[in-house]
Amino acid sequence: MTGANTAATPLLQVSGLESGYAGMRVLDGIDLEVRRGETVAVVGGNGAGKTTLIRTITGMVRGTAGAVAFDGVPLLGMSTDRICELGLIQVPEGRQIFAGQSVESNLRLGAILRRARGHEARTMARIYDMFPRLAERRRQLAGTLSGGEQQMLAIGRALMAQPVMLMLDEPSLGLAPIVVEQMFRTVAMLASEGMSILLVEQNVAESLRLCQRAYVLENGTVALSGEGEDLLTDDRVRQAYLGL
């Protein structure tokens, strides 16, 4: 995308990022990176700043200091629309699907970006292949889907945008345990296909098992980071997040 970029440049690079709301700072100097094809988790409790991090990266919350670069392109100050056109696509917390529209219209709405033009039919076929339950329910109103199906729809909608990288905000939130398993399998499958993924989760154990690397977010700062496997056996992580 940019000439100065090389394969060694992280796809997403966040440095010293600060942001917040109306005078209240939430992110207090975040450094993190995601390399091409990597699955990286950001785990942390409720209120740690995970959603604020995603929303700052996508330009929905204004970054007040630091930098965010996607494929070498600086993002701070850029509109959310333009950031989406670069292929940095989020699956928002709480799915945010259109309940009164059909499954298929929700998917089509994912393809309104310029970058998605001409790919719609093929991507939709691939999504229906991936999620047969969505195919069976393509004409059903999205609001009548189960929580797990709605999450699949939110992921499908994001895939319609032809993402270079997906940022998933708590995809397992509010789902029954068996559906949580399916959801993590879906993320693992996308990862195995080479998708670059930033997975934000309170489900620490599953996320650390799935990802290559992870960051533990506490009070708007990175308290710990490392390989998922190592963090799973870290005493602080075991005590604070795994109840061990």
Comparison of 45 and 72: residue with beta carbon closer to Mg ion: 45
Judged by CB under 5 A, the number of residues near Mg ion is 3
Q: Specify the stretch interacting with Mg ion by CB under 5 A; choose among 5-13, 37-45, 51-59, 153-161.
A: 51-59
Closest to 221 in 3D by CA, of 86, 30, 35, 13: 30
What is the Cα–Cα distance from 72 to 7, expressed in whole angstroms? 11
Min dist CB 214 to ligand ADP, Å, is 14
Comparison of 149 and 169: residue with beta carbon closer to ligand ADP: 169
Closest to 12 in 3D by CA, of 197, 202, 192: 197
Residues between 73 and 112 with contacts to Mg ion, criterion CB under 5 A: 93
Q: Which does 192 bind (CB under 5 to 8 A by kind): Mg ion, ligand ADP, none?
A: none
Min dist CB 56 to ligand ADP, Å, is 9
Min dist CB 30 to ligand ADP, Å, is 11
Min dist CB 93 to Mg ion, Å, is 5
Min dist CB 84 to ligand ADP, Å, is 20
Min dist CB 94 to Mg ion, Å, is 9
What is the Cα–Cα distance from 170 to 122, expressed in whole angstroms? 28
Q: Which does 21 bind (CB under 5 to 8 A by kind): Mg ion, ligand ADP, none?
A: ligand ADP
Q: Which does 157 bind (CB under 5 to 8 A by kind): ligand ADP, Mg ion, none?
A: none
Structure tokens at 154: 């939110």
What is the Cα–Cα distance from 91 to 104, expressed in whole angstroms? 17
Only one residue has tokens 């701070």, namely 76
Closest to 163 in 3D by CA, of 66, 111, 88: 88
Task: Round to the nearest angstrom and report the end-to-end CA distance of the chain.
Answer: 45
Question: Which residues in this chain contact ligand ADP in the complex, by CB under 6 A?
Answer: 21, 26, 44, 46-52
Contact call for residue 51 and Mg ion (CB under 5 A): yes
Residue 61 · residue 70 · CB < 8 Å:
no
- Assign 78 to helix, strand or coil: coil
Comparison of 61 and 124: residue with beta carbon closer to ligand ADP: 61
Only one residue has tokens 């490392």, namely 226
What is the Cα–Cα distance from 126 to 115, expressed in whole angstroms? 17
Binding-site ranges for Mg ion (CB under 5 A): 50-51, 93
